[in-house]
Structure 1
């Protein structure tokens, strides 16, 4: 059973104000102009990282007659704890922090509203790396997980192993869940191409050993139905027994 955050608690929280510390040059200002929508996203994401909260896209209005993916007449970006919602790992408690970007006729975007006060404590500089928007597995980490999976190590053990390599959880830049999700994605990918990968492996063996033999058949749906293979030792043993 889920319960909504009590209204009395929301009213109490809204009476509080947490103004994040941020250098003035990194802080949005009403009237500030950006050349593209992408530049607004990069600027505000950096601001959120400095302040210690995760942004969430709230409201968008498209430009009439423009069907391009990034064509918005208005875009509101809020704290991810805005609105009242059911219980979740990070509950939404009607935080009012917000920035609004509006499209101008010359193709630029201007800040038309900026509310910087939050009704909840913000993440410390040391813990901002664990915010959802800042967590990201590097390519090196993904390669590491892929390799240790051959040893039948799952995401949890891969995460702990990487912690030992980098000197602590604070240096990973991703969470245990991120590692587990990547292992899940690998399994999903392999499940769609496992037969093809198996045949390609046999082809590689044939390329490295001319005496290696294999053959396979597929069914009417072009799915792998049967495989036969024999290495030089198997062939020699067969001749001897026969």
Structure 2
């Protein structure tokens, strides 16, 4: 770097040099035996390219050292190389179901883990970065997203917050949901039927209508619904 202009670049092999030996002090590193020993890929490769530039825009090769004597990455292992591991936007959207489950879905979809283009750890890391980015502003992001849709004529959106500033009720409806509501407007049709057949004073029907929110749970009381349950606990 000269006067704020980058004038030289070095590119070396990922296997250049050697891993420095780790010193061991039995008085300090008492639990070192429990640490996982990671293998190293560095083997002292001397392959490198040295680039120089006068303006920091155009670079020329000033020195090239071939010096590579180790085997290259095998074809079946190329998907493990960092430059080949990247989640696409479509794959990132699937992470919302959980990183491990999302990876298994992608593995099945693409016909093998080597075709996914990312590893299970990449999915976990993306989920972690996403959670750190959202932080405590998940409700605020939802409100901002739905507020931006108010420019459409048939979109409705209302919400409330409690005394602690927490999002409590939230309601939104677009054009399709409004049309669906009109097609299945139960309460209106119920009242029309009661009036048509002069049943407006029938106590049993009045009581049944008042407990209408319990109809579906009662109807499916004997049906196993465990498949609809979802938990993130381990």
TM-score of the aligned structures, taking structure 1 as reference length: 0.52
1:143 shift after superposition? 1.7
Structure 2 counterpart of 1:216:
161
The whole-number CA distance in structure 1 between the counterparts of 2:162 and 2:135 is 19
State the aligned residue count: 155
Structure 1 counterpart of 2:113:
169
SS at match of 1:126: helix
SS at match of 2:7: strand
Q: How does 1:74-85 map to 2 (within 5 A)?
A: 74-85=8-19
1:185 shift after superposition? 1.7
2:89 corresponds, among 100, 122, 139, to: 139
SS at match of 1:137: coil
The whole-number CA distance in structure 2 between the counterparts of 1:227 and 1:215 is 6
Structure 2 counterpart of 1:36:
none
The whole-number CA distance in structure 2 between the counterparts of 1:76 and 1:218 is 58
Q: Does the 8 Å CA contact 1:104/1:110 hold for their aligned counterparts?
A: no
CA RMSD of superposed structures (Å): 3.7
Q: Is 1:116 matched with 2:66?
A: yes
Gaps of 5+ in 2: 21-36, 172-209, 211-234
> Which of structures 1 and 2 has the bigger CA Rg?
2
Structure 1 counterpart of 2:42:
92
Looking at both structures, which has the greater relative contact order when contacts are Cα pairs under 8 Å and sequence separation is at least 6?
Answer: 1
1:193 corresponds, among 137, 158, 161, to: 137
Please identify which structure carries the higher strand content: 1
Q: How does 1:1-242 map to 2 (within 5 A)?
A: 62=1, 64-65=2-3, 67=4, 71-86=5-20, 88=38, 90-104=40-54, 108-146=58-96, 149=97, 154-197=98-141, 199=143, 214-217=159-162, 224-225=165-166, 227=168
The whole-number CA distance in structure 2 between the counterparts of 1:143 and 1:229 is 23
1:181 shift after superposition? 0.8
TM-score of the aligned structures, taking structure 2 as reference length: 0.53
Gaps of 5+ in 1: 1-61, 231-239
